Amino acid sequence: MLDSGGAGPFGEAAEALPFGVEEDAPDAVERGAERRGVGEVGADDLHGARKVRRRGVAAGGADGKARVQKLLNETARDIAARSGDQDRHGSRLGPRRPGRVGTAGPGTGGTTPGSGIMGRMDRQELGGFLRSRRDRVRPGEAGFAAGGRRQTPGLRREEVALLAGISVDYYIRLEQGRGPRPSAQVLAALGRALRLTGDETGYLLGFAAPPPAPGPPEVPANVLRLLGRLDGVPAMVINACYDVLAWNRMLTALIGDLAQAPPERRNTLRWLFGGPLEGARLELARRCVADLRASGRYPADPAVRAIVAELSAASPEFAAMWAEREIEVQRTITKRAVHPVAGELELDCEILPVPGGEHRVVLYTAAPGSESDRGLHKLRGT
């Protein structure tokens, strides 16, 4: 387990990792070296992994990341080719079933999904997002005079409609959740009018198509084999709800034995909002909430809807962050902490999507030849 010397079981360990288990650091490292967790994947689990081994995916840095992403893309093509119950977009329709996680034993994802087929656009979600972004654009930024009697510090509805080249009535209906599904061209024009970021534009364009359907909860076997071959890189697999589904030996050596936490606690969001939010932990919480909404799976995905309802009821901080409608896709975060074996670490947390589904591979890498890189090498021997 990482330790930064603060109060509580982690100190400020949230600055280094988006997950933790409540046990003392030295014991966690020792036990992590002795046994594998429920979802942990090791080299001895890798049947038919010769293809991955030849590619040398254990390398860190930009080259290693590119090789990992290439293999994830190949995994997606393999899954699509084998799936007999996918629609023409490669999305599985229907309820999700709890399944086996990892290869070392039974497990669950921790967030129990409901059932149902997603298809209709959520008009209220679209309307709320448009209103929130209209309020943030100052008239002067869009070329309008800032004077006059305004009921809001942001743009008027007619100003947004003018900038986007659509009728005022149509825009009002979109904000009020009464309009038909807008085209991608209309949404792109609204994105420009509202001066959205790239992630916000991507989220907005998602309303032009049916929401992403829930896929199988099981981590694809190809991804598990890849995870096990990353013997020099701490890595884990998460889903859209931030459930930790599988991890490798290096992650156990880095943060401790996740198998000692019950499945429902192997969730980054529950861990973050289950303790005091300040400093780096508060910033990480904001990033995760923004990423959860950026997935475009709320409210159509039953599992995402359930975790949002749970945390909104349990945490005023989560409810407030969710109401802000921030959108930001998690990609790379630099994290710093002190490990009892590896010493001071500065790691890049890379979050790589598995194409065609909701799973993501999370890697912790260090700059080649750095002290942190040497620290990770020490962990390989624990």
pLDDT band of residue 269 (cuts 50, 70, 90) is very high
Check whether 14 has a pLDDT greater than 50. no
Percent of the chain scoring above 90 in pLDDT: 57
- Per-residue pLDDT at 198: 97
Helix (H, G, I), strand (E, B) or coil at 237: strand
pLDDT band of residue 75 (cuts 50, 70, 90) is low
Structure tokens belonging to residue 295: 């997935």
- Per-chain mean pLDDT for the chain: 77
Domain range list for the chain: 13-115+214-380, 123-208
- Per-residue pLDDT at 213: 77
- Residue 356 region by backbone torsions, left for phi larger than 0, else alpha for psi between -120 and 50, else beta: left
CATH number, domain 123-208 = 1.10.260.40
Mean pLDDT to the nearest integer, 248-264: 92
Mean pLDDT to the nearest integer, 85-90: 36
CATH number, domain 13-115+214-380 = 3.30.450.180
**Euclidean distance between CA atoms 354 and 239, whole angstroms:** 10
Judge if pTM exceeds 0.95.
no
Check whether 182 has a pLDDT greater than 50. yes
- Per-residue pLDDT at 346: 95
Percent of the chain scoring above 70 in pLDDT: 68
Block residue for tokens 């959740």? 177
The torsion angles phi and psi of 349, rounded to 5 degrees, stand at: -90, 110
Check whether 147 has a pLDDT greater than 90. no
Q: Which residue has the higher pLDDT, 47 or 217?
A: 217
Q: How far is CA 31 from CA 26, 176, 256, 353, in A?
A: 9, 55, 7, 30
